Amino acid sequence: MKGFTSFVMVMESNKPYIAMLFVQFVYAGMALFSRAAIAEGMNPRVFVVYRQAFATLALVPFAFFIERKKSATLSYNLLCKTFFVSLFGLTLSLNLYYIAINYTSATFAAATTNTIPAITFIMAVFLRMESISIKQWHGVAKVLGSVLCVSGALVFAFVKGPPINLMNYSSMNKSDTPNPSVECHSKGEWIKGSLIMLSANTAWSLWLVMQVPIIKQYPAKLRLTTLQCFFSCIQSAVWAVAVERNVSSWKLGWDVQLLSVTYCGVIVTGITYWLQVWAIEKKGPVFTSMFTPLALIITAIFSSFLWKEVLHLGSVCGAVLLVGGMYGVLWGKNEEAKIKTNEQKTESKEDVVLECITHQ
């Protein structure tokens, strides 16, 4: 019984870590399914519309029943803020992401998203949500960890080296195992996709940072997530209708396209967005973004086993740098949190002592 109680206590104290690990597994699946659907011919802009529509429909009943007793006033000012955060965060980042993945691959998409921690950290510093103290070890760890994350992503994406086969694929007929994640792209397309993906990551980092002030004004996280998904769906639909006039592009069949849209809408957008909003409230935007490197490793492994994508030594070295950078920043943030907690305890004790002296 004591062992079970201890296990429950450990799980309770590590909820943000467990939630973010789950999120990264889900995101790895998103990269794989999305690339497969778009490779099958689905329009990226239409994909975003269906994804956000599925997410909104999945979240509405939970937002209504779970948070129906939670009082949260939605003012006109807050409604406008939520609309623009959805536009520049969700709508822009998702549309750019799916356009970019059409020019690259699932593994590359997962690799370049590891620039998100560094971009988020820089944004948070400029907005004074994060502090840098280079004179202390935790500050150095946060800076170096961010640099390692970006460096690892670049190494993973651009440095190949000798191949590492997790399974022996040389004897298999490649035509029998089509790989939707690895296609031949020209150098121009690859560069174009890389720049668009960087823009998508910047927009996503902005969304992470802007959740902090909105959550403080509107603490009903499920309703907030549902509202943002709804706004994003409307915005994406307007954009898709304006650009894509072919009616056949909107048809969904019982194939990988429907599976991908359902997965990305219900699981990715619906569940993980809410988990991220919850984790941001608990630990901040930088903590949330620092788990991003794990999705790259998971995607690379699954791509290797499912689609016969060959890993290279450069990819492994890049993954090591990514994980090292991630834990460097997490260690820095934990140390910083301990110092702040100790300072608050010291201040509280001093206040009590002063109060006692005043009463005497």
Contact assessment for residue 334 and residue 142, using Cβ atoms and an 8 Å cutoff: no
Non-local (6+) Cβ contacts of 251 within 8 A are: none
- Report the chain's mean pLDDT, rounded to a whole number: 76
Nearest to 309 by CA among 300, 319, 298, 318: 300
3-state secondary structure of 311: strand
What is the pLDDT at residue 14? 76
List, for residues 146-169, the tens digit of each pLDDT value: 788 778 777 766 776 777 665 554
DSSP string, 222-274: HHHHHHHHHHHHHHHHHHHHHH---GGGG---TTHHHHHHHIIIIIIIIIIHH
Neighbour count for residue 29 (Cβ, 10 Å)? 19
Question: pLDDT-derived band of residue 173, with 50, 70 and 90 as boundaries?
Answer: very low
What is the pLDDT at residue 174? 44
Q: CA–CA separation, 99 vs 106, rounded Å?
A: 12
What is the pLDDT at residue 311? 67
Q: At what angle do helices 313-359 and 293-306 cross, to 10 degrees?
A: 150
Phi, psi dihedral angles at 164 (to 5 degrees): -125, 110
Q: CA–CA separation, 122 vs 14, rounded Å?
A: 26
Mean pLDDT, to the nearest integer, of 103-119? Answer: 73
Identity of the amino acid at 113:
T
DSSP string, 113-131: GGGHHHHHHHHHHHTTSS-
Contact assessment for residue 260 and residue 37, using Cβ atoms and an 8 Å cutoff: yes
Which sign, positive or negative, has the C-alpha torsion 173, 177, 178, 184? Answer: negative
Q: CA–CA separation, 326 vs 330, rounded Å?
A: 6
What is the token pair recorded at 261?
Answer: 């849209």
What is the pLDDT at residue 101? 81
List, for residues 10-22, the tens digit of each pLDDT value: 556 678 888 888 8
Q: At what angle do helices 137-158 and 293-306 cross, to 10 degrees?
A: 30
Contact assessment for residue 214 and residue 83, using Cβ atoms and an 8 Å cutoff: no
List, for residues 217-261, the tens digit of each pLDDT value: 887 878 888 899 899 999 999 999 888 778 888 888 778 888 888
Nearest to 200 by CA among 279, 292, 100: 100
Question: Alpha-carbon Rg of the chain, whole angstroms?
Answer: 22
Least confident of 174-178, 278-282, 320-324: 174-178
Pick the more confident residue, 205 or 339.
205
What is the pLDDT at residue 272? 81
Least confident of 35-49, 159-173, 316-330, 335-349: 159-173
Q: CA–CA separation, 215 vs 221, rounded Å?
A: 7
What is the pLDDT at residue 141? 82
Contact assessment for residue 232 and residue 86, using Cβ atoms and an 8 Å cutoff: yes
What is the pLDDT at residue 3? 55
pLDDT over 60 at 185, yes or no: no
Q: CA–CA separation, 248 vs 13, rounded Å?
A: 50
List, for residues 298-320, the tens digit of each pLDDT value: 777 777 776 666 667 777 787 78
Which sign, positive or negative, has the C-alpha torsion 308, 193, 274, 338? Answer: positive
Contact assessment for residue 291 and residue 285, using Cβ atoms and an 8 Å cutoff: no
Contact assessment for residue 299 and residue 26, using Cβ atoms and an 8 Å cutoff: no
